[in-house]
Structures are given as C-alpha cells and as structure tokens.
Amino acid sequence: MERCPYLSKDEKSVCGGQLLIDTQDPKGPRTLRCLACGRSIVQEKAFFGWKTVKVSAARLDIAEESHTKTSGIKQKIISLDKKYGVFKIAKFGIASGTGFLVSEVILTLGDLPLYGTTSIPSVASSSPPFLALEIGALAFGVFIAFIMNERFTFHVRPTREHGRWNGRAARLLRFEGVNAVGNAVVIVIQFALLAAFSLSPLIGNVVGAIVSYPITYLISLRFVWKG
C-alpha cells in the first residue's frame, strides 16, 4: 500500500495517508490521490513498478526515496536502461524469440506432411512448397512478435505525421516489411547451410536470426516505433 509523501499540515512530518488511484491511462501515467490530505501525485510505468514523476517540490526528495528504494545492483541496471535502453532491447529480444519459436513450431509441423519427417533433405532448398511454408511461418512469427512488442516494449498513441497514419495496422505493416528484410537474410542463410552442409533448417534459422536481429531492431526503432 502506497502512502502520501507530502508534508502534513504542521510541516513537521510526512502525511502518510493512503493513496488510491484517481485516474490511470492503460499505456501511460496514473494519478494517485491521498485520502487524508486530498493532494495527488503522478507516476509513470517503470521496469520495477511505478516511478513518481510529479509531486510538490518541497517533498520531491521524500517521494523519490519512497519509490526508488532499490539495491545498488538494481540502481546500476536502471542507470544502464536510461543510457542504453537495455530493458527495451531485452523485451524486444524476448518478443522476437517468442515469434521465432512460433515460426519454428509451424515449420516443423508443416515439414511432416511435405516430407514425412522433420529431417529435411537438402533438395528442399529448391522446393517451392517448402519456401512458401518458410515464408508463411516467419510472417506469422513476426505478427506474434509485433503483438508482444505493442503490449510490453513500446507504448505509442495513434498519430498522423506528415500525412502518414501511425495506427496499429500501419505499424504492423511496417514491422512486417522491416522483418521481411531480416527474414530474407534468415532464409538465404538457412538454404545455404541446408544445401552445403545438409544442416537442419532449425540451425539455419537460429544463425540467420542472430545475424539479422541487430538490423531488425535498429530499423524498427527508426521506422516502426520512433524513440
């Protein structure tokens, strides 16, 4: 239970009244109001719960102390996140990894009716049905990654910039387009390893995903989720 960080009326102690949520944006800040003194504070989402961003100047130090009681290691992690966005990179990686696993499951299950086994022969590298299955599996995996990124990694509002709509559907199309480049790299690497060394498509996908991940992340920040 959170307590009010403001000074009491005698200005000799902290109010300490119970804070209840007054207003809350699902993807943005929330306002908490004190039941005792009626004053409010504004908090934004942080990786470790909520962070107070607006409170009276006189008691800002108390609010920060109350809401940022973290260990030295945690403080260093938060500092790294502010400087390099490590949490965003990690969450983007988790979303991409989940999408990758989904595409692998689809690819593995689709190989069974095509070849009767999950061990794909090297001749599959020139097979149109296998290529179609590969593209479909990767596209659906990208869709899963997009949904996760929209929910956990990036928080954006629909806007129109320079005549271009930035709604969810538009972002999905741009994300699929960005990943089409990355997936092309994945497919080329996968087919090359399959044809040259008869390596499983799973191994090729892993290698291709590792190679294409930095490119996909940076381009996504620039053209899909700015900032």
Domain ranges of the chain: 1-69, 82-223
Which amino acid, 141? G
- Quick one: pLDDT at residue 63? 43
Rounded to a whole number of angstroms, the CA Rg of the chain reads 24
Q: What is the pLDDT along the chain (227 residues), one digit of tens a residue?
A: 677 777 666 666 777 777 777 777 776 788 888 877 777 878 877 766 777 766 654 444 444 444 444 456 766 766 766 776 778 888 888 998 899 889 888 887 877 776 666 566 555 555 777 778 878 888 899 899 999 998 888 877 656 655 566 678 888 898 988 888 887 887 788 778 877 877 776 777 788 888 888 888 888 888 888 75
Phi and psi based region of residue 11 (left: phi greater than 0; alpha: psi -120 to 50; beta: remaining):
left
CA atoms within 13 A on the CB side of 48: 13
- Quick one: pLDDT at residue 62? 44
Q: By three-state DSSP, how is residue 3 classified?
A: strand
Q: How far is CA 117 from CA 102, 110, 111, 198, 202, in A?
A: 19, 10, 7, 15, 14
- Quick one: pLDDT at residue 120? 60
- Quick one: pLDDT at residue 207? 83
